[in-house]
A and B are shown apart, each in its own frame.
Chain A
């Protein structure tokens, strides 16, 4: 995608302020045909969660173009997230002040050939591409002048890291004979479902010279998916079903274990 209109994208990335978002989107969606571009693929484009799901491992691999370094970002669907701070009231800890952030990824992992700071990429680019836990620019839905945004956004990131849903430090990316790259990203059992995006950035001399994106779908399948969808889409019938199962169970027990 960069091959066709590199100048346009770079201008847009560098001068984010005067660039209309529509233009950035258009650039991002443009297909690329340049042979020197970075190429990426996944061992599996679809991960299935069933009743036995204990987590998974996503293999990302590809070929670099002219770049020296590779950064891989795996990002789950965005959603709103509320951070609540406990406060001590009358001796017990109660949820007090809260802040709701928009566009928080449900999963976020970064993998790189070496520490990102060592690559010398301009901070504006990292912010623009949202590379790094502290580069996502989490914004509250309703800003509260009495509360420090950074306090709550830091807590948000810490929590996600503790849940295994954000990476603390980049996962290593292996570069083989300078051109083939490969990395494996762990997906824990509490990973969310939906369409994830795998974005690969190619870096040379502190500049992002190529990028590529490919989707990953994580969905519930089998009995697990049926039960989940039943509970969400036919909630009333699901409730009735749950009660009926319990009634039959209870009745069977009283018949089977009847005394005398």
Chain B
């Protein structure tokens, strides 16, 4: 059964969309990852224009981060003060990102930048995950908690603020900077950016691990909401029908994944996830390097 996507302007099988949403949903339920960094490349592989894939995925992440953030909120694991600082940066970064997106689109380099960003980030994350999961698999012993509160130059930054919930006294410029960097990625890549923000909050800010996920999800809700609105206004690339079917599949998948997570050992599955990430990275990279079958591309308008 096919459906015509009104903004992407292509006809696509409903079950392919539900299946993709479901598959990525299972992975996110199983591993607690957002899934945007897998969903966007998959949509591109399906033939959805990269610009539409990125903007629509931001819309979907709004939904998945709300349900995640609410769960953490109920347990009291969201540091609102920190979240607001991350959000200030996130709004600045994502607004700039959407503006950059429109310029890249106009000069015909948007697809390249989206693909390159994915190759770089998926390559780094996949490799780190792979090494980490192999290590835990071999050692099977508790990880040492990351060393915190070391003194770097970053602790000399001005505008220090008290973050009571996290028990931190650091410069507000730090979370604003992290938020801004993640905001740019959200706009250009259609991801929540948890995979960058979470390690940055643990290692750079020294936040307690328990607060990190809920606080980052809090920021992601509003940043992806900002990206969705700005993309809709500036680039007309948000496809609400596409988002709807991905959401539907994603909700079902995430519940299945969460059930599975209680039954299987996730360490051994992490190797599997890292291989998926590396596989997607290699496919995207290969497409950039290999001589294309068609050297020419068309786009409406311009000049």
A interface, CB within 8 angstroms of B: 49-55, 79-86, 88, 91-95, 98, 100, 141-142, 152, 155-156, 158-160, 162, 189-190, 220, 224-225, 227-228, 231-232, 235-236, 238-243, 245-247, 249-251, 253-254, 257-258
Q: Is the CB–CB distance between B296 and A159 below 8 Å? A: yes
Does B16 have its Cβ within 8 Å of any Cβ on chain A?
A: no
Query: With contacts A159-B298, A227-B240, A250-B62 known, is A95 near B112, CB below 8 A?
Result: yes
Q: Which of B59, B243, B296 contacts A84 (CB 8 A)?
A: B296
Q: Which of A81, A85, A227, A235 contacts B233 (CB 8 A)?
A: A235
Name the segment of B6-14, B85-93, B171-179 touching the other chain. B6-14
B interface, CB within 8 angstroms of A: 2-4, 6-7, 9-11, 59-60, 62-68, 70-71, 108-109, 112, 116, 221, 225, 228-233, 236, 238, 240-241, 243-244, 247, 251, 254-255, 288-289, 291-292, 294-303
Q: Is the CB–CB distance between B303 and A250 below 8 Å? A: no
What are the residues of chain A within 8 A of B108 when measuring CB–CB? 82, 84, 95, 98
Q: Is the CB–CB distance between A246 and B302 below 8 Å? A: no
Q: Which of A80, A84, A189, A254 contacts B301 (CB 8 A)?
A: A80
Q: Is the CB–CB distance between A92 and B238 below 8 Å? A: no
Q: Is the CB–CB distance between B247 and A80 below 8 Å? A: no
| Distance between A209 CB and nearest chain B CB, rounded to angstroms | 37
Q: Is the CB–CB distance between A250 and B66 below 8 Å? A: yes
Q: Is the CB–CB distance between B299 and A190 below 8 Å? A: no
What are the residues of chain B within 8 A of A156 when measuring CB–CB? 296, 298
Q: Is the CB–CB distance between A91 and B59 below 8 Å? A: no
| Distance between A162 CB and nearest chain B CB, rounded to angstroms | 8
What are the residues of chain B within 8 A of A227 when measuring CB–CB? 6-7, 240-241
Q: Mind listing 28 A-B residue pairs with CB under 8 Å?
A: A52-B4, A53-B4, A54-B11, A79-B301, A82-B108, A82-B301, A82-B302, A83-B298, A86-B297, A92-B288, A93-B295, A95-B112, A100-B303, A156-B298, A159-B294, A190-B9, A236-B229, A239-B231, A242-B229, A245-B244, A246-B243, A247-B221, A247-B225, A249-B247, A250-B62, A250-B64, A250-B65, A251-B67
